[in-house]
Structure 1
Amino acid sequence: MSEKTIRVLHVDDQHLWRSTVSDYLILFGRYEIVSAKSGEEALHLLRNTSFDIIISDYQMPEMDGIDLLIQIRRRGESIPLILFTGIKQEELEQKARDSGVDFYVVKTGDPSVVFSDLSQKIQLAVARSDTVQELKKYQKHHISSPSAPS
């Protein structure tokens, strides 16, 4: 596991889940967790603060987790998003994948298994995102300043 502290924006309309995620997730890695109770609050936080990843519930009033992702992508942000939901449904999982969700994790089950899985997926999504960002920097540097011919 990386020594980097991962900044997580956790979005869930239920207070119990916001506190549960904060309490359990830190047992599995180095996380700084900021919670939001709605998609609108999450969008506001994203305007002023940078995060490495978003974990979002699916079913929330006014804006579900997939709609939140769509709003974030429309703003040009590529931050990874994990849908963390109590709904185990193939159609929803497919809709989430089609919308660009990085991972789909079901909340139900043994908490130690659920949060270990969530932590592993956070690590993978953040590592993948970091790699893509480094590759973009590398390509930009090498494309914008090619070496002089020998």
Structure 2
Amino acid sequence: MPEKPIRVLHVDDQRLWRSTVSDYLTLFGDYEITSAESGEQALDLLRTNPFDIIISDYQMPEMNGIEFLHLVRKRGTSTPFIFLSGIRQEDIEGDAKESGADFYVMKTGDPSIVFSVLSEKIHQAITRYTTVQAVMNTQMEDSVPSSFL
């Protein structure tokens, strides 16, 4: 039985990048990509759609990527989160990690390398998330008295 595609929410204010991510990322795996042009639009999509991972630009008008990530986490959503940005990693890495981002990938460079790295980071983030969820579920099951099972 084939695995389901990875459901990606991609947030970027630049239309060219939204289409580029959709076009290239699907070359590296089975992805179902939903694009949003702003953090606000992405938050609306998150209200009604489940996603396996969120990929966001950092520098966007009205709400930057860190602000968007803060709002996502404030809602209790622990979906893996990756920044895909042209801003140097050193400039935002601390804020990104502190806010709960899993990875940061630079948008600049050879597209085949950028999207290969992005695809690898997506799989790493989802694997880590799935493992943590499984451990938490096991711990919860172990802490429930057998009379409740």
Contiguous gaps of at least 5 residues in structure 1: none
Cα deviation digits, residues 41-81 of structure 1 (max 9, x gap): 00000000000000000011111111111001111110111
Partner of 2:84: 84
Partner of 1:5: 5
Q: What residue identity is the alignment partner of 1:55?
A: I
Distance across 1 between alignment mates of 2:145 and 2:107: 48
**Per-residue deviation at 1:4?**
4.1
What secondary structure is seen at the aligned counterpart in 2 of 1:29? Answer: coil
Partner of 1:143: 143
What secondary structure is seen at the aligned counterpart in 1 of 2:122? Answer: helix
Distance across 2 between alignment mates of 1:87 and 1:74: 24
Partner of 2:53: 53
Structure 1 residues 24-43: aligned runs within 5 Å:
24-43=24-43
Q: What residue identity is the alignment partner of 1:39?
A: G
How many residues matched?
A: 146
Distance across 2 between alignment mates of 1:145 and 1:6: 36
Contiguous gaps of at least 5 residues in structure 2: none
Partner of 1:15: 15
**Per-residue deviation at 1:3?**
3.9
Does structure 1 residue 44 correspond to structure 2 residue 51?
no
Partner of 1:99: 99
**Per-residue deviation at 1:98?**
1.8
TM-score using structure 1 length: 0.92
Cα deviation digits, residues 74-115 of structure 1 (max 9, x gap): 111101110100111413122211221100110000000000
